[in-house]
């Protein structure tokens, strides 16, 4: 008895478990990948949403608008009388306006000959003479775009307190020459507003905020430790300017920038903070020189999807394990009928022919198979006897086939005769069964020798057809020496052949020709055979037919010999229907037209080369389709 672990049932159980587990593993892989993509997509959309929700409040932080700046410019008459030296009365006016509007300060910056912006007047005492050029180092405040806009916003720091403030600056141009004279600048407090705007968001997953001086330095953040961290600028030209002239001062920055892992899909990018990978989105705030960064830990983004995934596949795993255990015991029980059947089979193999399979309550199809096996055993001896009888029949058939092959070989000439003025070639390819095709070539006559060319095809298959063909060949060789006309030769053959075949229905088609090399004339007669195919030296190819009756059919004689005049280079082709009726796997016939085209294209070829070319095309056409008829061909070329 086969052990269960080596049984088919055990293998089926294993395959079933694999086929069940494999889709789950593939599905889990696909689900993880999809969950990863969906989580990233959702995270990006959430970051964008949070960034846009902060955009409007950030735009509203500007303490003063363009009309107010223009009004101050005109009020102080700066275009015509921009002060070259500090004026106490101007400081007083600026202090009154700053106090009324709740500004941190208002400053007049003079553009000196060195291109530096120096404080001339200020609402805050003690600022005169300070160089504020560093506030504008990163911006082209004299550009046409800035001039058209009328002002520029930027965020800067008090170097001593590290508190951020917003600057709104307007370049003052001379009224006549439109040359820059200096800058009117208003500073407003933004620290308190930043604290309100940058409160972390806990919807879906924690989202933190940070404000950056153009995509680089964090000057305010919801995470206090994140303040004054910086990224290597996307624009590499900004980095030395930030470190040299930036308002945040070099000592406020860490030694190294934050590590950016990837920014190919900017404004999205990934970076490392607090030892974890973060997903960030940068939103530039129009009208200001700041950008808003919304970011979230990648771990937090994937936390809930991973919990969902583990929950689902934990249930899947439980079902798979419990189902596998149950399936194991059920399969073991249901495999018992198969084991019993294999036990009976092994016993019979050992010679215990009395053993039989007994039905099992859970046998189902195995019971039916066992009953069939029992019937097989009951008929075993009878089958052995029939097999022995069949073996004897096959041996007898093999002997008949051997005789048929011998007879078939005797029908063909051992070698081609030598006859002046012609080149001869022939081929005979037998089918699987013994057939009755044959060809013959010999010389008749004594004074004026003629070459006899004959081809024939007997109906039916087997040894019987071979013997009838042998009979016809023998009579042909005899009567060809006795009678002059080809028709007379075939007529006398037919008389004796009809006596031999009687009412058997056996018949033979034949095409016989007598060729004289001196006159180059071919006399022929067809007894129901395929027409003669002639190719002239000029390439013209035609069939020449003759409607004679097949040998074995008693009908009145139809006319005499047909003759055709040949010339040097002409080719005469004798063939059987094994060529034209060769069929391919679609049951299409090779046909006469293909044969004609091959013969027509044979210019310059010898008869042997022609036969090789034709056989190659036939073999290519039929492919793997089995053929049931002999292929016989005889070609003569006049030299």
Tens digit of each residue's pLDDT (9 = 90 or more) over 148-170:
888 887 777 665 566 677 888 89
Distance between CA atoms of residues 161 and 157, nearest Å: 8
Tokens (6 digits) for 76? 């102080």
| Residues forming beta bridges with residue 565, ordered by sequence position | 521
DSSP letter string over 23-38? HHHHHHHHHHHHHHHH
**Kind plus residue range of the DSSP H or E element containing 406:** helix 380-411
Q: Give the CA angle between residues 479, 481, 484 to the nearest 5°.
A: 85
Per residue in 264-284, pLDDT (tens digit) is 888 899 999 998 999 999 998
Tokens (6 digits) for 84? 């070259």
Q: Is the pLDDT of residue 338 over 90?
A: no
Is omega for the bond preceding 267 within 30 degrees of 0, making it cis?
A: yes
Domain ranges of the chain: 336-378, 412-638
Distance between CA atoms of residues 10 and 299, nearest Å: 44
3-state helix, strand, coil in the chain (%, to 5): 45, 25, 35
The CATH number that domain 412-638 falls under is 3.60.40.10
Predicted local confidence at residue 532, as pLDDT: 95
The helix/strand/coil state of 284 is strand
Q: Is the pLDDT of residue 559 over 50?
A: yes
Per residue in 430-486, pLDDT (tens digit) is 876 667 789 999 999 876 689 999 999 988 777 778 888 888 999 999 999 999 999
The helix/strand/coil state of 287 is coil
Distance between CA atoms of residues 592 and 576, nearest Å: 11
Which residues touch 260 (CB under 8 Å, ≥6 apart)? 231, 232, 269, 270, 271
The mean pLDDT value of the chain amounts to 83
How much is the pTM? 0.43
- Dihedral pair phi/psi, residue 211, rounded to 5°: -105, 130
Tokens (6 digits) for 442? 């010999």
Tokens (6 digits) for 22? 């494999």
Q: Is the pLDDT of residue 248 over 50?
A: no
| Cα four-point dihedral sign 176, 178, 180, 185 | positive
- Least confident residue range of 15-24, 95-104, 550-559: 15-24
pLDDT (mean) for 478-502: 91
Per cent of the chain over pLDDT 90 is 34
Comparing CA positions, the residue from 155, 156, 157, 110 lying closest to residue 129 is 110
pLDDT class of 501 with cuts at 50, 70, 90: confident
Q: Which long-range contacts (CB under 8 A, 24 or more apart) does 344-350 make?
A: 344/370, 344/373, 345/373, 346/1, 348/377
Predicted local confidence at residue 627, as pLDDT: 80
Helices 298-334 and 8-59 pack at an angle, to 10 degrees, of 160
Per residue in 201-215, pLDDT (tens digit) is 888 889 999 988 766
Predicted local confidence at residue 582, as pLDDT: 93
3-state SS track over 64-91: CCHHHHHHHHHHCCHHHHCCCCCCHHHH
Predicted local confidence at residue 250, as pLDDT: 52
The helix/strand/coil state of 193 is helix
Per residue in 574-628, pLDDT (tens digit) is 999 999 999 999 999 999 999 999 999 998 999 999 999 999 999 999 998 888 7
Q: What's CA 574's distance to the chain center, in Å?
A: 53
3-state SS track over 232-248: CCCCCCHHHHHHHHCCC
Which has more pLDDT, 534 or 370?
534
Which has more pLDDT, 223 or 313?
223
Predicted local confidence at residue 102, as pLDDT: 84
Q: Is the pLDDT of residue 404 over 70?
A: no
3-state SS track over 321-381: HHHHHHHHHHHHHHCHHHHHHHHHHHHHHCCCCCCCCCCCCCCCHHHHHHHHHHHHHHCHH
CA distances from 484 to 147, 452, 454, 556 (A): 125, 12, 15, 20
pLDDT class of 234 with cuts at 50, 70, 90: very low
Distance between CA atoms of residues 129 and 78, nearest Å: 18
Per residue in 35-90, pLDDT (tens digit) is 778 888 888 999 999 988 888 887 777 777 778 888 888 888 888 888 888 889 98
Tokens (6 digits) for 342? 């294999």
| Cα four-point dihedral sign 354, 355, 358, 364 | negative
pLDDT class of 195 with cuts at 50, 70, 90: confident
Polymer length of the chain = 639
Q: Which long-range contacts (CB under 8 A, 24 or more apart) does 322-328 make?
A: 323/20, 324/17, 327/13, 327/16, 327/17, 328/13
Predicted local confidence at residue 289, as pLDDT: 67
Per cent of the chain over pLDDT 70 is 87
């Amino acid at each position: 008895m086969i052990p269960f672990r080596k049984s088919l049932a055990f293998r089926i159980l294993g395959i079933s478990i694999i086929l069940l587990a494999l889709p789950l593993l593939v599905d889990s892989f696909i689900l993880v990948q999809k969950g990863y993509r969906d989580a990233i997509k959702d995270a990006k959309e959430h970051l964008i949403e949070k960034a846009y929700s902060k955009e409007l409040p950030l735009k509203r932080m500007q303490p003063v608008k363009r009309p107010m700046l223009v009004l101050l410019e005109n009020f102080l008459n700066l275009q015509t009388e921009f002060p070259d030296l500090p004026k106490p009365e101007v400081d007083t006016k600026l202090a009154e306006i700053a106090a009324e509007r709740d500004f941190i300060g208002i400053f007049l910056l003079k553009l000196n000959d060195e291109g530096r912006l120096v404080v001339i007047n200020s609402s805050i005492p003690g600022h005169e003479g300070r160089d504020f050029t560093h506030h504008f180092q990163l911006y082209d405040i004299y550009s046409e775009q800035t001039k058209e806009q009328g002002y520029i916003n930027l965020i800067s720091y008090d170097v001593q307190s590290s508190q951020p403030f917003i600057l709104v600056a307007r370049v003052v141009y001379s009224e006549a020459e439109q040359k820059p004279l200096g800058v009117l600048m208003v500073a407003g407090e933004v620290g308190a507003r930043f604290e309100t705007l940058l409160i972390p968001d806990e919807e879906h997953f924690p989202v933190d905020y940070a404000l950056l001086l153009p995509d680089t330095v964090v000057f305010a953040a919801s995470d206090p430790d994140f303040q004054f961290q910086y990224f290597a600028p996307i624009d590499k030209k900004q980095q030395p300017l930030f470190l040299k002239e930036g308002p945040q001062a070099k000592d406020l920055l860490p030694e190294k920038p934050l590590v950016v892992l990837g920014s190919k899909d900017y404004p999205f990018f990934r970076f490392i903070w607090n030892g974890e990978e973060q997903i960030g989105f940068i939103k530039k705030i129009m009208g200001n020189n700041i950008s808003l960064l919304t970011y979230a830990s990648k771990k937090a983004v994937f936390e809930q999807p991973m919990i969902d995934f583990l929950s689902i596949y934990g249930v899947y795993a439980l079902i798979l394990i419990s189902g596998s255990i149950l399936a194991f015991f059920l399969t073991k029980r249901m495999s018992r009928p198969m084991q019993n059947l294999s036990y009976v089979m092994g016993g019979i193999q050992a010679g215990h022919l009395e053993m039989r399979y007994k039905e099992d309550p859970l046998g189902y199809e195995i019971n039916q198979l066992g009953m069939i096996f029992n019937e097989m055993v009951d008929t075993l001896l009878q089958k052995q006897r029939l097999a022995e009888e069949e073996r004897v029949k096959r041996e007898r058939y093999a002997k008949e086939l051997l005789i048929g092959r011998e007879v078939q070989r005797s029908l063909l000439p051992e070698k081609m005769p030598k006859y002046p003025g012609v080149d001869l070639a022939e081929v005979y390819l037998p089918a699987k069964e013994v057939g009755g095709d044959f060809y013959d070539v010999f010389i008749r006559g004594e004074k004026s020798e003629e070459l006899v060319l004959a081809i024939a095809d007997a109906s039916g298959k087997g040894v019987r057809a071979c013997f009838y063909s042998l009979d016809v060949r023998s009579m042909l060789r005899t009567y060809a020496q006795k009678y002059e006309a080809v028709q007379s030769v075939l007529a006398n053959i037919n008389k004796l052949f009809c006596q031999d075949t009687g009412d058997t229905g056996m018949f033979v088609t034949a095409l016989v020709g007598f060729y004289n090399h001196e006159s180059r004339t071919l006399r022929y007669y067809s007894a129901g055979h395929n027409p003669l195919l002639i190719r002239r030296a000029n390439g013209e190819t035609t069939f020449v037919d003759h409607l004679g009756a097949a040998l074995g059919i008693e009908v009145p004689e139809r006319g005499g010999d047909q003759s055709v005049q040949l010339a040097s280079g002409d080719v005469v082709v004798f063939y059987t229907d094994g060529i034209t009726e060769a069929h391919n796997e679609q049951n299409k016939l090779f046909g006469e037209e293909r044969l004609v085209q091959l013969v027509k294209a044979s210019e310059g070829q010898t008869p042997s080369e022609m036969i090789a070319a034709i056989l190659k095309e036939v073999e290519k056409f039929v492919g793997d389709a089995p053929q049931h008829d002999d292929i016989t061909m005889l070609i003569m070329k006049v030299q």
